[in-house]
Chain A
């Protein structure tokens, strides 16, 4: 079945540090890949997506590239801010149904 594996958190970084959150997946066919973000006390919001191999999704300074050869979709940001503190979820859809498969989430804390 489909599954998503994310790096364990929490991740603690100083402001302006470089961020990488690893995500790998297992799926049949050609899934679409997503990063969702959950700020404290809120629901999830779509951060970025990529629907085919080699696509790069980007938003708010975050980016992730769909790598079919390594089955990965790592999230990166060049310079994090305190306001980026949140939980980040990698997710996939294989297009065969309506469900998204979520990873377990990675908590990020950015300190001043």
Chain B
């Protein structure tokens, strides 16, 4: 099992550009989520999904879109990048079976810089 994979590892964007951060998992997990990690802020939830075709907003959803067309993939789209979106982005997945949910498996992260 590869677990949770994310691409790219690093990305530099100019203000106003758009891009998609890719996330995939091979554990057949129902739940997938995106977090951003900023210095001194911990992790904040952007969007999450509890299954294909179902997504919902987290704490900081503005400026980001998601979709979930398959169980495996959960891409995060930046519509018009802003310097405030400079951050490290983590994708995570988990089984929704009772007792297992909170063992979230994290990808290695994407470090995004917006200039």
The chain A residues found within 8 Å of chain B, CB to CB, are 4, 32, 34, 41-46, 49, 89, 93, 98-100, 102-105
Contacts and interface: CB of A to CB of B under 8 A. Distances in A.
Nearest to A98: B48
A104 B41 CA distance: 5
Nearest to A103: B42
A105 B50 contact: no
Contact of A89 (B31, B42, B92, B107): B42
A44 B102 contact: no
B45 A43 contact: no
B43 A43 contact: no
B31 to A, nearest CB: 6
A100 B58 CA distance: 10
24 contacts: A4-B42, A32-B102, A42-B108, A43-B4, A43-B90, A43-B92, A43-B106, A44-B43, A44-B92, A44-B104, A44-B106, A49-B102, A49-B103, A89-B43, A98-B101, A99-B33, A99-B58, A100-B45, A100-B104, A102-B43, A102-B44, A103-B42, A104-B40, A104-B42
B109 interface: yes
Interface residues of B, number: 23
Given A42-B108, A43-B90, A43-B109, A102 B103 contact: no
B105 to A, nearest CB: 8
Q: Which of A32, A89, A93, A99 has the most CB of B within 10 A?
A: A99
